[in-house]
Amino acid sequence: MNALAFFAHPDDETMLAGGTLALLAHSGVGVHYLIATSGEGGEAGEPALCPPDELGVFRAAELKCAVEALGGSSLTNLGYTDPGVGPAGQLYPFTTNLAGLSGQVVSMIRERNIDVLISHGTNGEYGHPAHLLCNKAARLAVSSLKKKAVMLYTIAAAYPDHPKPRIANRDDPAHLILNVKPVLNYKIQAALCHRTQHALFMRRTSVTAGRKVKVPQVLMKAESLHRALPAVDGAPRDWLAETLSPWTMVQTP
């Protein structure tokens, strides 16, 4: 079986779904990564680890390191330019060509013989336009395959005890809630690869805690998935759910 992890930026794969992807890889699933941009519009670290014009290359190398740590089978970057942050923290999508992006996802599904697509949630986690764009492209890609459609699961699905409710997709109820502690070390190693983003990872939690925290302390030990296509009522019954069943947590009211 093969899964395609489709995300907007380097580090999305690790911080939002690294445990899930590591569980799949270490269960014998081929996990292929499709990342839209090199994250050249993001931060370069504190202090900066490279000049602004080298950030894309630097982050692409960090992503390769992270995918290897998570046990990924392949990595493809679509080469879109990640827009910089605008005034007052304004964020932007990386393209306006939804059909073109969706077509690239379809091509990768066919090329890698993909059985399940895993991508951003309906609400873009915290509303990031690039995340929202990937979710729309993923849905369009799967729908366009018709009878040859693969499953689509989205990450950061909502449930009452979500460890980071700020990033939970409120319109995507969780079908699977996973205990990723057994592979937490792989997720930590992947997060440590993304050195330019460490200050960003730690900033919010450090402010909340009133002290400086370390990267491993900000990583979620539980991750959740929503099966978007084909839609289900209640717990899904499919090979991905069965593969992840040893780590599935019972959802509490």
CATH of the domain at 119: 3.40.50.10320
253 pLDDT band (50/70/90 cuts)? Answer: very low
Tens digit of each residue's pLDDT (9 = 90 or more) over 110-119: 999 999 999 9
**231 or 19: whose pLDDT is higher?**
19
pLDDT of 235 strictly over 90: no
On whether residue 253 sits in a domain, the answer given is no
Q: What is the mean pLDDT of residues 190-198?
A: 97
pLDDT of residue 174: 96
- Global pTM value: 0.95
On whether residue 48 sits in a domain, the answer given is yes
On whether residue 251 sits in a domain, the answer given is no
The average confidence (pLDDT) of the chain is 94
Q: What is the mean pLDDT of residues 145-158?
A: 94
On whether residue 38 sits in a domain, the answer given is yes
pLDDT of residue 252: 44
pLDDT of 57 strictly over 50: yes
On whether residue 217 sits in a domain, the answer given is yes
Q: Is the dihedral of CA 63, 69, 70, 76 positive or negative?
A: positive
pLDDT of residue 236: 63
Q: Name which of 114-118, 165-169, 212-216 the model is least confident about.
A: 212-216
- 218 is in which domain, residue-wise? 2-243
pLDDT of residue 251: 61
Structural domain count, the chain: 1
On whether residue 124 sits in a domain, the answer given is yes
On whether residue 157 sits in a domain, the answer given is yes
Contacts of 189 (CB under 8 A, 6+ apart): 69
On whether residue 137 sits in a domain, the answer given is yes
> What is the chain's alpha carbon radius of gyration, rounded to the nearest angstrom?
17
Q: Name which of 40-49, 59-68, 230-239 the model is least confident about.
A: 230-239
205 pLDDT band (50/70/90 cuts)? Answer: confident
pLDDT of residue 15: 98
pLDDT of 168 strictly over 80: yes
